[in-house]
Chain A
């Protein structure tokens, strides 16, 4: 912040210098001095070229990213002198690639993606957790008798597949089974299908969904499925985290701070004003279904704002727990040491010190 102020001073000083040079009398110099003060106070910040920032989203435009839209539409990024643009995600989009290749400065990613990529030596770090609870749940049809992971053996589950999002499902599924010590040999694992038709048809007994997406779709059909949350079975993952590269942190910590500050302001505003959040989401959302997007906003609110700590907050022990789970189920072949290489608390701590609770 102070750095920025100094830039302003320099800028306005340079602008004012010719004014001072052209006049010699004391009164005129005093007048020029006043001009400097005015310029400093009122010169619009936009004049200075905004730092361009691109964000790679995890999935297609939808309420899941409402905080980013809010920050953009409410001018929070502009306030931070950032020119932010969004890259949409999708089934075949790998967010990590975007930030590693420099297409984007920041990315929304699952924590397990960070683990895997970090293990491969990709220098990325989480700077904040947006979904501080995992949005992944497993569903079974009401009356199917499948209400706990213990009921899975002998059933068909559609949790296999590659790509962002689908990978989460498998990781959480196998982690949960591993935690509970349930033998998965008898469980029939089939690829995940977006349309849930097999689930409705009874061909698949269990499907993983995001509470913010699939669950809403299914509930909109009037179904009240049994919900199995991995968190109840010791699989507690963050869901969406905000990630950037080590290089970015090293070279542009100021941009990272400003971007994070504006983004968290956006998320706070989303939690506070769901109607406004819906309005800005509808400008971006692929699926122009207000009911769906609103349901998504409502569903994600407890994940974003858990009532515990500030929005975006992360805890080292939760990262360790995630690390251990992945290690236990051999999704991580070797331990990542130290675990702290996966994340940095510097920015959220700095922001909390300055701005207090969101």
Chain B
């Protein structure tokens, strides 16, 4: 289900649910109210009609009894009855007189017929309709019961009249109370139907009728003719009414139309009074309400769907653009533009997305540049590595050369020196002063060369013959150096002082060499002053900083680097002897230990040499590193 349909469904759900609930409650309430009102009305109608019906019958019976009790019937009629012979003059006379008495009631249409039935055999002796005279009604309940009391017979179908008949009877007695006959009156049933049809509402379907205990219509229902005692009705309402109960029910009436009906059993007359109204009419207002609710529900649903559609539209459009943009990015098109107005989450998302694409683009550009740089660096590095390897090779060759040269040169040099000295010894007395001088120069030259070669050998050995580092007290190494310098110190009367010195991890021989060279220099390069040398050490940046301070001749700034170059001399051999290799070797050693060597000096006042050594034990530094 797409987001749009989800939103529409959600809106519909949120709006229709309350409408349905409220509508249902309104409908139910309305229905109950109308039902109750219909129930009340139908029940009231039944009560009213029952009273009307009973009063109507009572009224008839009263009239009949009044007629029976009039002096004519009690006083004069008995004699007439005695002398009754049909067709006789007396009969005609009696007939006329009787007629005069009941004529007013006939005129008022309260009764259709009157009959006087002979008590003996139920024969009709006098009737306003002569046709009835001579009939025997002995089998009829209205005669049998009418001899004793006033009696109204249940409506029956008269075969000779071919219609339903309601008969009422009352005893006719003489003045002494002796039964003479039965006065019977046939009631106009049309009036009863009219009575049932009387309505106090404008209802188009309200229908009242009477049904007897055998389910036959007694009065004509509103929507039928010829039903009275001809047709039966077996509707649910009638069935219930005939169980001698009163109530209200929903059922299909005699026309099979759904009705609301009230049934009332009239015990005295063994009749059921039905009042019904079509459900369609009773529920018309409710149906109207139902239609209104449905209409409102429909409108609300449409509005909700429209709102859902619009709302989801705003979202799906933005999301759609994002989807398109994402696909573009997937295809590698980073030049996308998203509309990012608004403050909602989707606009924020769009902005973030836009930003992301921009950054992605930049990043990709940077990446390319970086990748290019990396390649270049790799290339440079390779070149560098090649150069380094070449340099290393060349350096190794050079060292090898220096070693070999210095080592192999010593032997011929010793021969030159030895044989020159031997020449002087054997033939010195034969040589003149000049010759002796030349020999001296040759020996001196050979000796110096030997010294130079030895120094060079030492220098080359710094790297090639270094030993494993070990932790040692700097004091010990300083002591060893001072012992080696003992003669020089003593000769110069130098004063060597020291500060506290640490324990360091070093190649002992080499560090002794460093101390020895630096202190030796400090004593050597002096003028008239008594040399004073001070050695100290301080801890700085994970290194020990050693200093060797003197009060010698000092070194000009111009020679700051020059003095560390091998065989470089600032003075003549006459001024200060030496080969000029000492400082170069010191720097080589310090470098090999991972430190640096430099000096600070004021010419004429003294020099301080500084060198650093790492405070932590470390593996021997690669020779290559030392070289750099």
* Chain A interfacial positions (CB closer than 8 Å to B): 133, 137, 147-150, 179-180, 211, 226-229, 231-234, 236, 271-272, 274, 298, 301-303, 305-307
Contacts and interface: CB of A to CB of B under 8 A. Distances in A.
B159 A133 contact: yes
B214 A234 contact: no
Interface string B117-136: 00000000000001101111
Interface residues of B, number: 29
Contact of B159 (A137, A147, A307): A137
Contact of B162 (A148, A149, A227, A236): A227
B385 interface: no
Contacts of B559: none
Chain A CB count within 10 A is highest, among B133, B138, B162, B229, for B162
B414 interface: no
Given A133-B159, A227-B159, A272 B234 contact: yes
Interface string B328-342: 000000000000000
B231 interface: yes
B156 interface: yes
Given A148-B131, A148-B134, A236-B139, A137 B231 contact: no
4 smallest beta-carbon distances between A and B, as pairs: A302-B157, A232-B135, A229-B160, A147-B131
A147 B212 CA distance: 31
Please indicate which of the listed interface residues A180, A271, A298 has the most CB atoms of chain B within 10 Å of its own CB.
Answer: A271
Given A271-B232, A305-B232, A228 B136 contact: no
B215 interface: yes
B134 A234 contact: no
A211 B160 CA distance: 10
Interface string B231-261: 1101000000000000000000000000000
Interface centre among B130, B137, B215 (most CB of A within 10 A): B215
A228 B214 contact: no
A234 B121 CA distance: 10
B58 interface: no
Given A274-B231, A307-B154, A307-B229, A150 B159 contact: no
Contacts of B232: 271-272, 305
B226 interface: yes
A301 B214 contact: no
The listed residue with most A CB atoms (<10 A of its CB), out of B136, B157, B160, B230, is B160
Among A226, A274, A302, A305, find the residue whose CB has the most chain B CB atoms closer than 10 A: A302
A307 B160 contact: no
A156 to B, nearest CB: 21
Given A272-B234, A305-B216, A234 B138 contact: yes
Contacts of A227: 159-162
Contacts of A305: 214, 216, 232
Given A147-B131, A305-B232, A307-B154, A232 B136 contact: yes
A109 B231 CA distance: 26
Contacts of B86: 150
Given A147-B131, A232-B137, 20 more contacts: A133-B159, A137-B159, A147-B130, A148-B134, A211-B162, A226-B131, A227-B160, A231-B139, A232-B135, A232-B136, A232-B160, A233-B136, A234-B136, A274-B231, A298-B230, A302-B159, A303-B159, A305-B216, A305-B232, A307-B213
Nearest to B212: A307
B133 A307 contact: no
Nearest to B218: A307
Contacts of B214: 305, 307
A229 B159 contact: yes
Contacts of B155: 307
A133 B159 CA distance: 9
A180 B86 CA distance: 13
Contacts of B156: 306-307
Contacts of A211: 159, 162
A234 B161 CA distance: 17
B269 to A, nearest CB: 13
A27 B230 CA distance: 62
Contacts of B159: 133, 137, 211, 227, 229, 231, 302-303
Nearest to A232: B135
A226 B226 CA distance: 20
Contacts of A228: 160
Given A150-B134, A305-B216, A137 B160 contact: yes
Contacts of A133: 159
A148 B215 CA distance: 33
Contacts of A306: 156-157
Contacts of A233: 134-136
B30 to A, nearest CB: 37
A227 B215 CA distance: 27
Nearest to A275: B231
A174 to B, nearest CB: 17
29 contacts: A137-B160, A147-B130, A147-B131, A148-B134, A180-B134, A226-B131, A227-B162, A228-B160, A231-B139, A231-B159, A232-B135, A232-B136, A232-B137, A232-B160, A233-B134, A233-B136, A234-B136, A234-B138, A272-B215, A272-B232, A272-B234, A274-B231, A302-B230, A303-B159, A305-B232, A307-B155, A307-B212, A307-B214, A307-B229
A179 B212 CA distance: 33
A148 B160 CA distance: 11
Contacts of A231: 139, 159
Nearest to A268: B232
A228 B161 CA distance: 9
A234 B124 CA distance: 12
Interface in B485-534: none
Nearest to B130: A147
A148 B133 contact: yes
Contact of A301 (B130, B137, B212, B230): B230
Contacts of B133: 148
A336 to B, nearest CB: 22
Interface string B131-154: 101111111000000000000001
Interface string B155-192: 11101111000000000000000000000000000000
B230 A149 contact: no
Interface in B68-115: 86
A232 B86 CA distance: 17
B234 A149 contact: no
A271 B212 CA distance: 14
Interface in B181-224: 212-216
Among B214, B226, B234, the most chain A Cβ lie within 10 Å of the Cβ of B214
A273 to B, nearest CB: 8
A272 B137 CA distance: 29
Contacts of A147: 130-131
Contacts of B138: 234
